[in-house]
Structure 1
Amino acid sequence: MNKVILMGRLTKDPDVRYSQGENALAIARYTLAVDRRFSRKDNTENQTTADFISCKAFGKSGEFAEKYFRKGTKICVTGRIETGSYTNKDGVKVYTTEVVVEDQEFAESKNSGGQGNFSQPAASGTAAPVTADNGFMNIPDGIDEELPFN
Protein backbone atom coordinates (compact mmCIF):
# COMPACT_ATOMS: atom_id res chain seq x y z
CA MET A 1 0.00 0.00 0.00
CA ASN A 2 1.33 3.43 -0.95
CA LYS A 3 -0.37 6.00 1.34
CA VAL A 4 1.03 9.23 2.76
CA ILE A 5 -0.50 11.62 5.32
CA LEU A 6 1.30 14.91 5.95
CA MET A 7 0.58 18.06 7.88
CA GLY A 8 2.70 21.15 7.43
CA ARG A 9 2.95 24.71 6.19
CA LEU A 10 3.43 25.87 2.62
CA THR A 11 6.90 27.30 2.02
CA LYS A 12 5.61 29.58 -0.76
CA ASP A 13 2.51 30.10 -2.89
CA PRO A 14 1.70 27.10 -5.11
CA ASP A 15 3.08 27.12 -8.66
CA VAL A 16 0.13 26.31 -10.93
CA ARG A 17 0.36 25.56 -14.63
CA TYR A 18 -2.19 24.25 -17.08
CA SER A 19 -1.69 21.40 -19.53
CA GLN A 20 -1.97 21.98 -23.27
CA GLY A 21 -4.99 20.94 -25.28
CA GLU A 22 -8.73 21.28 -25.40
CA ASN A 23 -9.33 20.12 -21.82
CA ALA A 24 -6.60 21.99 -19.92
CA LEU A 25 -5.76 20.37 -16.59
CA ALA A 26 -4.46 22.38 -13.62
CA ILE A 27 -1.21 21.07 -12.13
CA ALA A 28 -0.26 22.69 -8.81
CA ARG A 29 3.15 22.12 -7.26
CA TYR A 30 4.02 23.16 -3.74
CA THR A 31 6.39 22.30 -0.94
CA LEU A 32 5.28 21.47 2.60
CA ALA A 33 7.51 22.11 5.60
CA VAL A 34 6.68 19.21 7.92
CA ASP A 35 8.07 19.33 11.48
CA ARG A 36 10.30 16.47 12.58
CA ARG A 37 10.89 16.14 16.31
CA PHE A 38 14.01 14.62 17.76
CA SER A 39 16.04 14.91 20.92
CA ARG A 40 19.78 15.32 20.95
CA LYS A 41 21.88 13.13 23.21
CA ASP A 42 23.86 16.11 24.50
CA ASN A 43 20.76 18.21 25.15
CA THR A 44 17.64 17.06 27.01
CA GLU A 45 15.38 19.63 25.34
CA ASN A 46 13.37 18.58 22.30
CA GLN A 47 14.50 20.34 19.15
CA THR A 48 12.47 20.61 15.98
CA THR A 49 13.54 20.71 12.39
CA ALA A 50 11.54 20.30 9.21
CA ASP A 51 11.47 18.09 6.16
CA PHE A 52 10.59 19.88 2.92
CA ILE A 53 8.33 17.62 0.88
CA SER A 54 7.37 18.28 -2.74
CA CYS A 55 3.70 17.78 -3.60
CA LYS A 56 1.66 18.01 -6.78
CA ALA A 57 -2.11 18.23 -7.18
CA PHE A 58 -4.08 17.78 -10.40
CA GLY A 59 -7.42 19.04 -11.72
CA LYS A 60 -9.89 20.52 -9.23
CA SER A 61 -7.40 20.02 -6.38
CA GLY A 62 -4.84 22.05 -8.33
CA GLU A 63 -7.38 24.81 -8.97
CA PHE A 64 -8.33 24.85 -5.26
CA ALA A 65 -4.67 25.17 -4.28
CA GLU A 66 -4.23 28.05 -6.72
CA LYS A 67 -7.27 29.89 -5.38
CA TYR A 68 -6.89 29.41 -1.60
CA PHE A 69 -3.41 28.23 -0.59
CA ARG A 70 -0.78 30.83 0.30
CA LYS A 71 2.66 30.80 1.86
CA GLY A 72 2.40 29.84 5.54
CA THR A 73 -0.99 28.11 5.24
CA LYS A 74 -1.13 24.98 7.40
CA ILE A 75 -2.64 22.10 5.44
CA CYS A 76 -3.14 18.36 5.71
CA VAL A 77 -2.46 16.26 2.61
CA THR A 78 -3.14 12.63 1.82
CA GLY A 79 -1.77 10.98 -1.26
CA ARG A 80 0.84 8.58 -2.58
CA ILE A 81 4.60 8.72 -3.11
CA GLU A 82 5.81 8.80 -6.69
CA THR A 83 9.46 8.42 -7.62
CA GLY A 84 11.15 9.20 -10.89
CA SER A 85 14.41 10.18 -12.49
CA TYR A 86 15.82 12.31 -15.27
CA THR A 87 19.21 13.20 -16.68
CA ASN A 88 20.16 16.85 -16.16
CA LYS A 89 22.06 19.02 -18.66
CA ASP A 90 25.40 17.88 -17.19
CA GLY A 91 24.54 14.23 -17.92
CA VAL A 92 24.00 13.37 -14.26
CA LYS A 93 21.01 11.19 -13.36
CA VAL A 94 18.78 12.93 -10.80
CA TYR A 95 16.27 10.97 -8.71
CA THR A 96 13.02 12.60 -7.59
CA THR A 97 10.45 11.82 -4.90
CA GLU A 98 7.16 13.69 -4.54
CA VAL A 99 3.68 13.22 -3.15
CA VAL A 100 0.79 13.02 -5.62
CA VAL A 101 -2.07 14.65 -3.72
CA GLU A 102 -5.34 12.74 -3.53
CA ASP A 103 -6.95 14.93 -0.85
CA GLN A 104 -5.98 18.24 0.75
CA GLU A 105 -7.61 20.36 3.43
CA PHE A 106 -6.91 23.20 5.80
CA ALA A 107 -5.39 22.14 9.12
CA GLU A 108 -6.36 25.27 11.05
CA SER A 109 -8.93 28.02 10.86
CA LYS A 110 -7.94 31.47 9.72
CA ASN A 111 -8.64 32.76 13.24
CA SER A 112 -6.04 30.48 14.84
CA GLY A 113 -3.03 32.57 13.91
CA GLY A 114 -2.14 31.07 10.53
CA GLN A 115 -2.03 33.40 7.58
CA GLY A 116 -4.17 33.12 4.46
CA ASN A 117 -6.40 30.29 5.65
CA PHE A 118 -10.02 29.87 4.58
CA SER A 119 -12.59 27.32 5.64
CA GLN A 120 -14.19 25.21 2.94
CA PRO A 121 -17.96 25.50 2.56
CA ALA A 122 -19.98 22.79 4.27
CA ALA A 123 -21.81 20.23 2.16
CA SER A 124 -25.53 20.37 1.35
CA GLY A 125 -25.97 24.05 2.17
CA THR A 126 -25.61 23.71 5.94
CA ALA A 127 -23.60 26.21 7.92
CA ALA A 128 -20.03 25.22 8.63
CA PRO A 129 -19.34 24.35 12.29
CA VAL A 130 -17.73 27.15 14.24
CA THR A 131 -14.56 26.34 16.14
CA ALA A 132 -13.75 27.94 19.46
CA ASP A 133 -10.37 29.49 20.27
CA ASN A 134 -9.27 26.20 21.86
CA GLY A 135 -9.63 24.34 18.53
CA PHE A 136 -12.76 22.37 19.46
CA MET A 137 -16.03 22.62 17.54
CA ASN A 138 -18.94 24.32 19.28
CA ILE A 139 -21.94 21.97 19.35
CA PRO A 140 -25.31 23.73 19.50
CA ASP A 141 -27.52 23.11 22.53
CA GLY A 142 -30.49 20.79 22.18
CA ILE A 143 -28.86 18.14 20.00
CA ASP A 144 -29.80 14.78 21.49
CA GLU A 145 -28.87 12.61 18.51
CA GLU A 146 -26.55 9.69 18.78
CA LEU A 147 -23.13 9.72 17.17
CA PRO A 148 -23.31 9.38 13.35
CA PHE A 149 -21.54 5.99 13.25
CA ASN A 150 -22.85 2.56 12.41
Structure 2
Amino acid sequence: MINNVVLVGRMIADAELRYTPSNVAKASFTLAVNRLFKNQNGEREADFIRCVIWKQSAENLANWAKKGALIGITGSIQTRNYENQQGQRVYVTEVMASGFQLLESRNQQNNQGGYQNQEQGNYGQSQGYQSPFGNQQQTPDFSRNSQQGSFFQGQTTNPMDISDDDLPF
Protein backbone atom coordinates (compact mmCIF):
# COMPACT_ATOMS: atom_id res chain seq x y z
CA MET A 1 0.00 0.00 0.00
CA ILE A 2 1.14 3.56 -0.67
CA ASN A 3 0.19 6.50 1.51
CA ASN A 4 2.44 9.45 0.63
CA VAL A 5 1.55 13.13 0.75
CA VAL A 6 3.56 16.08 -0.53
CA LEU A 7 2.07 19.54 0.00
CA VAL A 8 3.22 23.08 -0.59
CA GLY A 9 1.21 25.85 1.00
CA ARG A 10 1.09 28.77 3.41
CA MET A 11 0.47 28.42 7.11
CA ILE A 12 -2.80 30.15 8.02
CA ALA A 13 -1.67 30.64 11.65
CA ASP A 14 1.32 29.92 13.88
CA ALA A 15 1.70 26.22 14.71
CA GLU A 16 0.12 25.15 17.99
CA LEU A 17 2.94 23.45 19.93
CA ARG A 18 2.02 21.12 22.79
CA TYR A 19 3.75 18.38 24.74
CA THR A 20 2.46 14.95 25.70
CA PRO A 21 2.70 13.80 29.34
CA SER A 22 5.93 12.02 28.39
CA ASN A 23 7.32 15.35 27.08
CA VAL A 24 7.06 14.59 23.33
CA ALA A 25 6.48 17.69 21.18
CA LYS A 26 3.45 17.81 18.86
CA ALA A 27 2.68 20.75 16.56
CA SER A 28 -0.68 21.16 14.82
CA PHE A 29 -1.11 23.58 11.93
CA THR A 30 -3.22 24.22 8.86
CA LEU A 31 -1.85 24.75 5.36
CA ALA A 32 -3.70 26.73 2.71
CA VAL A 33 -2.93 24.92 -0.56
CA ASN A 34 -4.02 26.54 -3.83
CA ARG A 35 -5.96 24.43 -6.28
CA LEU A 36 -4.54 24.07 -9.78
CA PHE A 37 -7.54 25.53 -11.58
CA LYS A 38 -9.65 28.65 -11.17
CA ASN A 39 -13.38 28.49 -10.47
CA GLN A 40 -16.14 29.78 -12.80
CA ASN A 41 -15.55 33.35 -11.58
CA GLY A 42 -11.87 33.18 -12.51
CA GLU A 43 -10.75 33.05 -8.86
CA ARG A 44 -8.26 30.58 -7.47
CA GLU A 45 -9.60 28.54 -4.55
CA ALA A 46 -7.61 26.92 -1.77
CA ASP A 47 -7.98 23.85 0.40
CA PHE A 48 -7.23 24.18 4.10
CA ILE A 49 -5.49 21.01 5.19
CA ARG A 50 -4.97 20.13 8.85
CA CYS A 51 -1.47 18.78 9.59
CA VAL A 52 0.39 17.38 12.60
CA ILE A 53 4.13 16.97 13.09
CA TRP A 54 5.95 15.38 16.04
CA LYS A 55 9.18 15.51 18.08
CA GLN A 56 12.11 17.77 17.11
CA SER A 57 10.52 18.63 13.77
CA ALA A 58 7.49 19.99 15.66
CA GLU A 59 9.67 22.27 17.77
CA ASN A 60 11.61 23.45 14.71
CA LEU A 61 8.41 24.20 12.81
CA ALA A 62 6.96 26.15 15.74
CA ASN A 63 10.19 28.17 16.10
CA TRP A 64 10.88 28.97 12.43
CA ALA A 65 7.63 28.83 10.44
CA LYS A 66 5.04 31.44 11.37
CA LYS A 67 1.70 32.55 9.95
CA GLY A 68 2.01 33.15 6.20
CA ALA A 69 5.18 31.06 5.81
CA LEU A 70 5.42 29.09 2.56
CA ILE A 71 6.42 25.55 3.48
CA GLY A 72 6.58 22.13 1.90
CA ILE A 73 5.75 19.01 3.87
CA THR A 74 5.98 15.29 3.32
CA GLY A 75 3.99 12.72 5.22
CA SER A 76 0.93 10.49 5.10
CA ILE A 77 -2.82 10.77 5.58
CA GLN A 78 -4.34 9.38 8.77
CA THR A 79 -7.92 9.15 9.92
CA ARG A 80 -8.94 8.92 13.56
CA ASN A 81 -12.26 9.08 15.36
CA TYR A 82 -13.62 9.89 18.78
CA GLU A 83 -16.94 10.32 20.52
CA ASN A 84 -17.89 13.93 21.27
CA GLN A 85 -19.84 15.21 24.30
CA GLN A 86 -23.15 14.65 22.51
CA GLY A 87 -22.28 10.97 22.00
CA GLN A 88 -21.71 11.31 18.25
CA ARG A 89 -18.80 9.65 16.47
CA VAL A 90 -16.52 12.31 14.91
CA TYR A 91 -14.02 11.41 12.19
CA VAL A 92 -10.90 13.51 11.66
CA THR A 93 -8.61 13.23 8.63
CA GLU A 94 -5.21 14.93 8.84
CA VAL A 95 -1.75 14.78 7.33
CA MET A 96 0.88 13.30 9.64
CA ALA A 97 3.92 15.24 8.46
CA SER A 98 7.25 13.46 8.70
CA GLY A 99 9.26 16.50 7.61
CA PHE A 100 9.00 20.07 6.39
CA GLN A 101 11.03 22.55 4.38
CA LEU A 102 10.94 26.34 4.50
CA LEU A 103 10.52 27.53 0.92
CA GLU A 104 11.28 31.23 1.20
CA SER A 105 13.48 33.51 3.22
CA ARG A 106 12.25 35.82 5.94
CA ASN A 107 12.81 38.83 3.67
CA GLN A 108 10.54 37.34 1.02
CA GLN A 109 7.84 36.61 3.59
CA ASN A 110 7.97 40.16 4.94
CA ASN A 111 7.85 41.67 1.44
CA GLN A 112 4.81 39.59 0.51
CA GLY A 113 2.80 40.58 3.57
CA GLY A 114 3.58 37.41 5.47
CA TYR A 115 4.26 37.30 9.17
CA GLN A 116 6.31 40.04 10.74
CA ASN A 117 9.32 39.07 12.81
CA GLN A 118 11.69 41.60 14.30
CA GLU A 119 14.72 39.30 14.60
CA GLN A 120 17.68 40.10 12.39
CA GLY A 121 19.26 37.77 9.84
CA ASN A 122 18.18 34.62 8.05
CA TYR A 123 16.90 31.38 9.46
CA GLY A 124 19.38 29.68 11.77
CA GLN A 125 22.24 31.94 10.76
CA SER A 126 23.60 31.93 14.31
CA GLN A 127 24.09 28.16 13.96
CA GLY A 128 26.31 28.51 10.90
CA TYR A 129 23.50 27.81 8.43
CA GLN A 130 23.73 29.71 5.15
CA SER A 131 20.32 30.31 3.63
CA PRO A 132 19.95 28.95 0.06
CA PHE A 133 17.91 32.05 -0.73
CA GLY A 134 20.79 34.49 -0.34
CA ASN A 135 19.63 38.10 -0.22
CA GLN A 136 17.03 37.78 -2.95
CA GLN A 137 14.18 40.24 -2.72
CA GLN A 138 12.07 38.91 -5.62
CA THR A 139 10.95 35.53 -6.83
CA PRO A 140 11.94 34.92 -10.46
CA ASP A 141 9.12 34.93 -13.01
CA PHE A 142 9.06 31.64 -14.91
CA SER A 143 5.63 32.20 -16.44
CA ARG A 144 5.10 31.95 -20.16
CA ASN A 145 4.06 35.61 -20.21
CA SER A 146 7.45 36.80 -19.00
CA GLN A 147 9.45 38.50 -21.74
CA GLN A 148 12.28 39.52 -19.45
CA GLY A 149 15.36 37.39 -20.08
CA SER A 150 13.35 34.67 -21.76
CA PHE A 151 15.20 32.00 -23.69
CA PHE A 152 12.41 32.08 -26.23
CA GLN A 153 12.36 35.87 -26.55
CA GLY A 154 11.44 36.88 -30.08
CA GLN A 155 10.32 33.36 -30.97
CA THR A 156 6.74 32.31 -31.51
CA THR A 157 5.14 30.01 -28.98
CA ASN A 158 3.15 27.89 -31.43
CA PRO A 159 2.59 24.24 -30.54
CA MET A 160 5.36 21.86 -31.54
CA ASP A 161 4.97 20.02 -34.81
CA ILE A 162 5.42 16.36 -33.85
CA SER A 163 4.36 13.45 -35.99
CA ASP A 164 3.00 10.22 -34.54
CA ASP A 165 6.18 8.46 -35.69
CA ASP A 166 8.22 10.56 -33.23
CA LEU A 167 6.27 9.32 -30.21
CA PRO A 168 7.68 6.34 -28.25
CA PHE A 169 4.25 4.76 -27.65
Superposed pair shares fold, TM > 0.5: yes
- TM-score normalised by structure 2 residue count: 0.66
2:52 is paired with a residue whose SS is: strand
Q: What is the identity percentage for the equivalent residue pairs of Structure 1 and Structure 2?
A: 36
- 1:39/1:13 CA distance change after superposition, 3 Å: closer
The whole-number CA distance in structure 1 between the counterparts of 2:116 and 2:90 is: 34
- In structure 1, which of residues 115, 119, 122 is the aligned counterpart of residue 123 of structure 2? 119
- AA in 2 matched with 1:90: Q
Alpha-carbon distance in 1 for matches of 2:129, 2:90: 49
Local SS of the residue matching 2:67: coil
Residues 83-142 of structure 1: CA deviation (Å, up to 9, x unaligned)? 111111111111111111111011211122343585356x9x574432533446xxxxxx
Aligned residue for 1:132, secondary structure, equals coil
| Pairing of 1:37-116 with structure 2 (within 5 A) | 37-41=36-40, 43=41, 45=42, 47-112=43-108, 113=111, 114-116=114-116
Alignment-derived partner of residue 36 in structure 1: 35
Q: Call closer, same or farther: CA 1:79–1:120 in 2, change over 3 Å.
A: farther
Change (3 A) 1:107 1:84: same
Letter in 1 for 2:57: S
* Aligned equivalent of 1:6: 7
Determine the C-alpha separation between the residues in 1 that align with 2:55 and 2:129. 26
| 2:137 maps to 1:133 | yes
The match for 2:21 is 20
Question: With CA pairs under 8 Å and 6+ residues apart, which has the higher RCO, 1 or 2?
Answer: 1
Farther off after superposition, 99-108 or 65-74: 65-74
Name the SS of the counterpart of 1:5 in structure 2: strand
Distance 1:39 1:12 in 2: 24
Structure 1 unmatched runs, 5+: 137-150
Runs of 4+ in 1 over 4 A off after TM superposition: none
Using the size of structure 1 for normalisation, the TM-score is: 0.74
- Write out per-residue CA displacement over residues 66-90 of structure 1, whole angstroms, 9 at most, x where no aligned residue: 2122111111111111111111111
1:27–1:40 CA distance, 2 compared to 1 (3 A): closer
Structure number with greater Rg is 2
**Cα 1:38/1:126, change in 2 over 3 Å:** closer
Report the residue type matching 1:57 in the other structure.
Answer: I
Query: How many residues in Structure 1 have an aligned counterpart in Structure 2?
Result: 129
Q: Within 1, Cα distance between the matches of 2:124 and 2:79?
A: 31
RMSD value, Cα: 2.3
